[in-house]
Structures are given as structure tokens and as C-alpha cells.
Amino acid sequence: MALWQSEYPFGSHYLTIGANRLHYVDEGRGDQPIVCVHGNPTWSFYYRAIVKHFRNTQRVIAVDHIGCGLSDKPQKYPYTLAQHIANLQLLWQTLDLRNITLVVHDWGGAIGLGTAIAEPQRVARIVILNTAAFPPPYIPWRIAACRWPLIGPFAVRGLNLFNRAALTMTIHRKKRLSPVVASGLLAPYNNWTNRVAISHFVGDIPTSPNDPTWQVLDNIERNLHQLAHLPIMMIWGMQDWCFRPECLERLAKHLPQAEIIRLNDVGHYVMEDAPEDVLSNMDRFLQVPAAST
């Protein structure tokens, strides 16, 4: 058994979507499930602290998008935001999830919030970690470089630079991740083939309104008001160079009822940099009466 598996002692569950299997963790029991949606280049391992903390008192689900984590990694697949939303929506419908506490981060914000807008009757609360749910106002140069023709795919899929750089560039308080945690974050992405979704997530970042994903993001932003009646907590690492504080402020304009927790010494990987802060605030937040669904 690999060392990282001791950090991830969960059973595997799968939903078959077409020719591919979507993997998810489903721990604990209860009728108010916590559903965690990851971004790029992470996977359900990123949410292991939430799963461990809450599984003794309620149901916790953490999904791996197709191409990510322990899900299948087809080489020819529509790795688009719209497809990831459709996949998550199908999972919610298949499991008939209701009274969801939705937890989102990075690309998981657009995927999870897009699904919540499509299935609003299923969502009771939302916890938002550094993310965006609107067309990108900027693309950081470190990510833009990964989109350069030839050089970008070679760096992301060949040298694994995107994933490896994330191990250090996404934390601030902790300075460095433990070797066990780092190996867990890297484990599903150990070769060119298995890094296909990482590359496509980068490539799916839209640069103009002519991009289909721009329109999907624009539609999500236009409909965020549909979630404005829900209890929402935003926990934000303020040292994030990717989803900078202006992303937080833009989301807050659409969700003015949200409670905002600013973690001034925390980077992008909030669950790696400050898991105790997230868990303590979630403990308190879950005592808030949920919206009726």
C-alpha cells in the first residue's frame, strides 16, 4: 500500500457515465450530505480532512471528475465545464441527493455552483473556498504559459510541471507539504496519459466571449442570484495569486448574504494550508438552519 493511502482510508464508489466510470467517496450516513467538488489539479484526496471529520455524524461525498483522481481518464473526451457540470448533475440525480451542503474549490466552484443552479431544489447550504463562477477577468502568466502551443502540453503532460508547481505555489502558511500529502496529490497523475484532464482544464479557460465555456461561465454568474437565499460561507486564502481577493469581492456582490472568512496568511490550497480553520468554521456553519429544499 502506498503511504498516501493511509491519508485516504475510504471506500471507492463508481457511477458509469457512457463508457467511463466516475469515482467518488461516499462515507457516513445521513439525510443532509456534504458534497465536495474539487478543481484542477487536485482530486477527492484534497477533501480528506472534511471526509474524516464529518463521516461519523453525517454523509460525506467527494467526487473525482472524469479524467481526475481515481476516475477513468479517457484520451478522447469532451473535457469541458459543461460536461463536468452534466456529470455532477447526473451523480446528484442518481443518488437522489437532497439537503446538500455543497463545498467547492477552484474549478469545482464553477462546476458545483453550475450544478446547484441547475438543481437548486437539492441544495441547502454552500461553502465556497477560493474559486470563481464567472468569465476570467485575467489569466495569471504561470497558467497562461501552460496554454502555449507545443510547450504547454509538454510542460503539463510530459514534465508534470503544473501539478508539481502547485505543491509549493498554492500554500503560504505551511511553507511546504509533507512528502506523504504531496505524493497523494500527485498519485493519480503519474504519466502523460493520466494527466490528460489537467491539460484540458487549463485549455478550457476561456479568453473571449466566443469560447463556449465563456458563455457557460457567464450564464452561471447571471444566475448566482438564484442561490442568494441560501446560507453561504466563503472561506478565502488571501495569499492566493490565482483566485485573488477581487474574485472573492465579485462573488460577494452576487451573494451578499454570505459570511466571509478571510484567512490572511493562507494560499490557494485552503484545505492543505488551513484545514483546521475550515473545519472549525464548518462546524459552526452547519448549525445554521438549512434552507428548505
Q: Give per-residue pLDDT as tens, 34-67.
A: 999 999 999 999 999 999 999 999 999 999 999 9
Average model confidence (pLDDT) across the chain: 95
**3-class state of residue 24 by DSSP:** strand
User: Of all residues in the chain, what percent carry a pLDDT higher than 70?
Assistant: 97
How many Å separate Cα 200 from the centre of its chain? Answer: 15
pLDDT at 99 over 80: yes
How many other C-beta atoms can be found within 10 angstroms of the C-beta atom of residue 216?
Answer: 20
How many Å separate Cα 19 from the centre of its chain? Answer: 23
pLDDT at 186 over 90: yes
Report the pLDDT value the prediction gives residue 159, as an integer from 0 to 100. 83
Question: Bridge-partner residues for 22, per DSSP?
Answer: 15
pLDDT at 293 over 60: no
Grid coordinates belonging to 156? 503539463
Question: Bridge-partner residues for 123, per DSSP?
Answer: 100
Distances (CA, A) of 137 to 41, 82, 217, 250: 21, 20, 12, 10
Residue pair 109/90 in contact by the 8 Å Cβ criterion: no
Mean of pLDDT values over 5-23: 98
**3-class state of residue 259 by DSSP:** strand
Report the pLDDT value the prediction gives residue 148, as an integer from 0 to 100. 67
Report the pLDDT value the prediction gives residue 28, as an integer from 0 to 100. 98
**3-class state of residue 41 by DSSP:** coil
Report the pLDDT value the prediction gives residue 150, as an integer from 0 to 100. 67
Burial class (CB in 10 A: 0-12, 13-18, 19+), 65: buried
pTM attached to this predicted model = 0.96
Enumerate domains of the chain plus CATH numbers. 3-285 (3.40.50.1820)
> Given strand 13-17, what is the order of strands in its sheet?
13-17, 20-27, 60-63, 34-37, 100-106, 123-131, 232-237, 259-263
Residue pair 58/30 in contact by the 8 Å Cβ criterion: yes
